[in-house]
Structure 1
Amino acid sequence: MGKEISLDCLRDPLGAVETLFNGASSKVSRVSELARWDWGVKDFFEKFLQQDGVYSQVPEINSTPLSAIPSNTLVRFRGMVQDMLENEFFIGCYKNGESIRTTKYTDSVSPDFCTPGRDSVELWERRILYCVPVPGENHWVKDAFACTKWDHPSTQSRRSSSLTSQAEKRQRDEGDSSSSPDVEMDSSSIVESSDVKRRREECTTSWSDDRTSGLNMNFPLGETSFGPIPLRPCIVKVYDNADSDIMLNDVIEFIGIFTFDPELSANSFSNSEADSDPFMEADLCSRLPQSQVPRIHCVTSRKLTPNNMISIIPELRQKQAQIIANPGAVMTLRETILSGLANLLKGDSLAAEYLLLHLLSQIHKRVDTIVLGTLPLNIVIKASPENSTLPSQIAEAVGALLPCSHFLPLSCEHLNKGPWAPRKDYDQNRLATGVLQLAAGTHLTLDLTSMTEGKLNTTGVENLSTLRKMMQFQTVNYDFKFHPIEIATDISVLVTSNSVAGARNFLPTDICVVLVPSADSSAIIEDESLANLRLYLSAARNLEYNQDTSLNPVLENDLVECMQKQRSIDVETFHRWLTLSRLLTLSHGESQLKIEHWKKVLEMEKLRVARMSH
């Protein structure tokens, strides 16, 4: 933008906003024109974050004690959009004498605010999102993001069609250098300006680490801490239609300005005050104290999925490229993970093969109510004392390999406890969460081996019905009292049970594998191999798969031959075989089905069905 900006943008991001606003306001004839764009704020901070060492210095809300984060500084927060609140109007800008001031990215106006004529005050609008820490996010993901670098998805190449092509280096979009100011920063010699001190002195943060405050934080899985640090939700304020593609349950990493206004926090309405004021009753923000639910004014963000949580981190993506550059590396990793899973499953290599394909499964297409790509799996474990801990060991192994997972022992008591589907609480004007409000790509391990005799109440029956529908159709009905809203999901479900018939009657799983032990269960994989196996799974899941139509006659002939031998084989069976063939192909780092993969699937299915008849 011509004039360079030299600021401590980490400790005084509002200084950068003010400078950009002043530059924009000097070029407009009417104050109202300033609402049309963000004055280059988003581009400025994205370029700033791409500088070496900058992103890792931005404190993360849920890995840093809030008492250590000063108000009005730059922070980051990675969370799931749990609720989308009513839009908020605020004083966007106003005239103070001859100068124009803005309150954008703040919760209050400057002390010099006065009440000029109407044409001098502009009311703008911002979107309010209630976000919670990512449900089921595993610690190794948190650790990776805690010390990574900023790499916005827009600077990455698109999904490639083979593992080998993914080894190509990311191409950054340099853009027009005139569209955003250059940033100069000398972190070794930072001198606080008077404005920085003023903004810091205006808000002395007083945080409470009391986890028993009685507030309902709406955490779907009830997770409360990351090590010694309590996990917190955040109210994120989004500007300039930056949320146009944000949906409920999306996982977003927000970079924004952390604000704390002691007056707003002190004046948070008590329940009795809210009850007497119908206007404030609808204002959730006024009832959630900033000391428990921090406010973040978003300057930029990036959408995350379990598939790009790893590849979006430059260090891990570079390592992934090095691994897959070697043609034999994928097969080596495949053999390593199969060996580890077989050790976990007491030497059962067939069960290990199915578990690997299950870990790679995800929805790739929806046709009306039919979902393609999922692979609900039931591992049938013989009831015995030595097998009692195997379900939790399997869940632990899944958590070591996938970004988001949760172990859920099913019992009548748990099912009866409360609604698993989110529901609208009109008294509080918020969406009350449930166990099944999860981000796409989350993995659930449901343990039926812990189920004992009992009676389901009305809530338990509804929860079981919701769970069955989610597994079969990958949708969950959110209860809005007057009408349900069907929300699409993509949740992989692994069931552990003690019998084929019992599990099949209870939960719909496409595939049941009876475990046939040949050894004692042992450690899944050495720790030094885990990082490479995570990269392997992420890369394989990201592959584009293309069906080779030239194989269709072979597939059809095999299907007819199998149907003649076994009348129970139907169209659903054929679809399951196609899904298994697709996943087996991806597990080999390939994007097109080969006849040997198809034949292997038929052999695997033959062995699996034979086990069920014994």
Structure 2
Amino acid sequence: MVQDPSYGEELHLTIARVLNSETGEVRQRFSQYTDVDHSLEEGWEVDYSSTGNVFTEKEVAYCVSVPGQNQWAQLESTASIESALEALSITNTSPHTNGNVDSGDTADSGFEVASGLASKYPLPGENHTAALVKFYSPSAAPKASSVIDVVGIYELGYNSKSQESDEERKVLWPCIHAIYYTDIQLHNLVPSLPRLALSAYIARRDMCLSHLTLVLGGDELAAQYLLLHLLSKSVRVQDAKVGKFSLNLIGVPSCEKKQQQQQKEQSRRFNFNNLATKWIGDAIAQLVPCSVELPFELGLLNRSAFLPNAEHGDLKAGVLQLAPGTEIICDETCLHEGTLDEHGVRNLHALQTSILEQTVTYLYPFQPIDISTNLRILVLSTGKSILQNDCDVYLADTAVRFFAKIQSGTSVDMQPLDPMHTEQIRQYLELARCLDFNIPKDVSDIISSEYADSRRCAHKNGEQMMTQEDLALTVTVARLISISKGQDVLDLASWREACTLEQYRKERATKAKSARPASGGEPSS
């Protein structure tokens, strides 16, 4: 993933005119895709005043392991920086040598190969690998947070921004001189994506729903909304963004005191200590290429940087600088009494902006820049979340008791998915999410007419009228129901199903609020 696309610019003497000071002979030397200066024999020197010299411009990008890439996606793909670099065993010409040093011999020669800068990786405390990728004119470096596949020449070299001390001069960086690169999407990390017939979509949808229902303790309604969430993505239609579907699952038990203490002791890393939220997070991690656990522990919120920051010249990573399509699972059950300072409030505001607007603000000097993103955000909470989400679903009482058992450490008897079905569900989610979708005008006209009729009827009977927000949510649900069936256009059957599903959800919410007025997990503002 491209963390910093503007890490620097370099000039390289690609074609050099060289002179022999003794004989006066003139030659041309060619050099490309390397940082090594022209190595000349005794008596030869570069004629820097020659008009025949050709300089090539290079843009340097700082690239890192894809944040949150799940282990199965790393094993199945060749897009991992770690695996690619470890597989290389070639002779490198590096600036510190005038000759050949094998990549495996750097330790013996007193040089260390850098693995990455902590400040330039979005997830604090996580091991990762980094490489400098150099793009030659006329190619430009790709955008920040994009995931790329690169073919190039591998070399160990210095980091031009880290040469302030003798110790730093002994650190070599993996460097890739890009001959060719292409942007890829996270679905490219899922192997063997086949074309599916419509009947195959239905079968895999049923398989996925059955699995998610088991994960959520038998709660079929919540499982349906979780499936819609996993299929969602933000797309731009004219001047608006549609398709986003952040979800708040309400009713997950909160952390016990012992687990809270564990969270404090590990508060420099993002991981779940609530066994109930970890159960859900682990289940989702088996199905999507990239997922990030984000516990709402006060220490993490107050210390971490959620937004990328280049106010001091170098772009430092923020937690929200993630590859498009990454799943963020927020654990609000660990948010307890304490002080959320100004920095923590800004972090929550940044997360809320990502939910509502699907943008992440990059803090550049003099002018912050909002960059469009595509992050799916799932919030797990005991009471209604402090964040505004697109959809709130109260878990059924059976699911609440199920997660209470898990949270208390009681083992749950659940048959795991076999590898073949797991792979089929992964493929189904990625293929359905990639469908190009539209709403036919005749269906749109019927929906508008029914919306107007429902408002007139509600007004006449003194009932609460359907709002524009209710309409937009129901249309999104209908859109995702169609996609879940492998359909690329909205039909009236999916619209009717969405209306019924929304009715059940609202009825459950009303019942849950009256039965559980004090959930104990909803922090005060």
**What's the TM-score, normalizing by structure 1?**
0.68
Q: Which residue of 2 is the match for residue 359 of structure 1?
A: 230
- Unmatched runs of 5 consecutive residues or more in structure 2: 19-24, 81-89, 257-272, 403-411, 512-525
For the pair 1:202 / 2:96, whether they are aligned, the reply is no
Q: CA deviation at 1:524?
A: 5.8
- 1:377-407 per-residue CA deviation (whole Å, 9 max, x = no partner) reads 0001253789952221211122111111111
- 1:550-580 per-residue CA deviation (whole Å, 9 max, x = no partner) reads 2234312332344333535211211111111
Say whether the 8 Å CA contact 1:203–1:260 is kept in structure 2: no
Q: Distance in 2 between the 1:308 and 1:224 partners?
A: 23
Q: Which residue of 1 is the match for residue 267 of structure 2?
A: none
Q: Secondary structure at the match of 1:355?
A: helix
Q: Secondary structure at the match of 2:329?
A: strand
Q: Which residue of 1 is the match for residue 296 of structure 2?
A: 410
- 1:5-41 per-residue CA deviation (whole Å, 9 max, x = no partner) reads xxxxxxxxxxxxxxxxxxxxxxxxxxxxxxxxxxxxx
Q: CA deviation at 1:418?
A: 3.1
Say whether the 8 Å CA contact 1:82–1:132 is kept in structure 2: no
Distance 1:91 1:582, change over 3 A: same
For the pair 1:243 / 2:140, whether they are aligned, the reply is yes
- 1:318-374 per-residue CA deviation (whole Å, 9 max, x = no partner) reads xx23xx24x422211111100000000000111111000100101122565x52110
For the pair 1:114 / 2:45, whether they are aligned, the reply is yes
Matches within 5 A, 1:220-235: 220-222=122-124, 224-225=126-127, 231-235=128-132
1:586 is aligned, of 455, 458, 483, to 483
Matches within 5 A, 1:4-403: 79-96=1-18, 97=25, 99-112=27-40, 114-116=45-47, 117-146=49-78, 202-205=100-103, 206-207=105-106, 215-216=117-118, 218-222=120-124, 224-225=126-127, 231-243=128-140, 246-261=142-157, 269-271=163-165, 291=172, 293-310=173-190, 316-317=192-193, 320-321=194-195, 324-325=196-197, 327-365=198-236, 368=239, 370-383=240-253, 388-403=274-289
Say whether the 8 Å CA contact 2:112–2:170 is kept in structure 1: no
Q: Which residue of 1 is the match for residue 425 of structure 2?
A: 533
Say whether the 8 Å CA contact 1:236–1:296 is kept in structure 2: yes
Q: Secondary structure at the match of 2:323?
A: coil
Q: Percent identity?
A: 27
Say whether the 8 Å CA contact 2:15–2:29 is kept in structure 1: yes
Q: Distance in 1 between the 2:277 and 2:390 partners?
A: 19
Q: CA deviation at 1:303?
A: 0.8
2:446 is aligned, of 542, 554, 564, to 554
Q: Secondary structure at the match of 2:487?
A: coil
- Unmatched runs of 5 consecutive residues or more in structure 1: 1-78, 149-191, 226-230, 274-286
**What's the TM-score, normalizing by structure 2?**
0.79
Q: Secondary structure at the match of 2:118?
A: coil
Letter in 1 for 2:390: D
Distance 1:210 1:462, change over 3 A: farther
Q: CA deviation at 1:212?
A: 10
Say whether the 8 Å CA contact 2:70–2:289 is kept in structure 1: yes
Distance 1:462 1:336, change over 3 A: same
- 1:183-220 per-residue CA deviation (whole Å, 9 max, x = no partner) reads xxxxxxxxx99x9xxx9952344556989999535110
Q: CA deviation at 1:474?
A: 1.2
Q: Secondary structure at the match of 1:496?
A: strand
Say whether the 8 Å CA contact 2:68–2:290 is kept in structure 1: yes
Letter in 2 for 1:221: L
Q: CA deviation at 1:447?
A: 0.8
Distance 1:332 1:393, change over 3 A: same
Letter in 1 for 2:35: D
Q: Distance in 1 between the 2:340 and 2:309 partners?
A: 20
Q: Which residue of 2 is the match for residue 284 of structure 1?
A: none
Letter in 2 for 1:270: E
2:326 is aligned, of 430, 435, 442, to 442
- 1:407-442 per-residue CA deviation (whole Å, 9 max, x = no partner) reads 11112211101321111152xx31011111112111
Matches within 5 A, 1:475-486: 475-486=359-370
For the pair 1:492 / 2:376, whether they are aligned, the reply is yes
Q: Distance in 2 between the 1:530 and 1:216 partners?
A: 34
Say whether the 8 Å CA contact 2:39–2:98 is kept in structure 1: no
Distance 1:288 1:540, change over 3 A: farther
Q: Distance in 2 between the 1:404 and 1:527 partners?
A: 18
Q: CA deviation at 1:296?
A: 1.0
Say whether the 8 Å CA contact 1:217–1:233 is kept in structure 2: no
Q: Distance in 2 between the 1:88 and 1:266 partners?
A: 10
Say whether the 8 Å CA contact 1:397–1:524 is kept in structure 2: no
Q: Distance in 1 between the 2:200 and 2:364 partners?
A: 50
Q: Which residue of 1 is the match for residue 509 of structure 2?
A: 612
Q: Secondary structure at the match of 2:427?
A: helix
Q: Distance in 2 between the 1:267 and 1:367 partners?
A: 41
Q: Secondary structure at the match of 1:499?
A: coil
Aligned pairs, number? 451
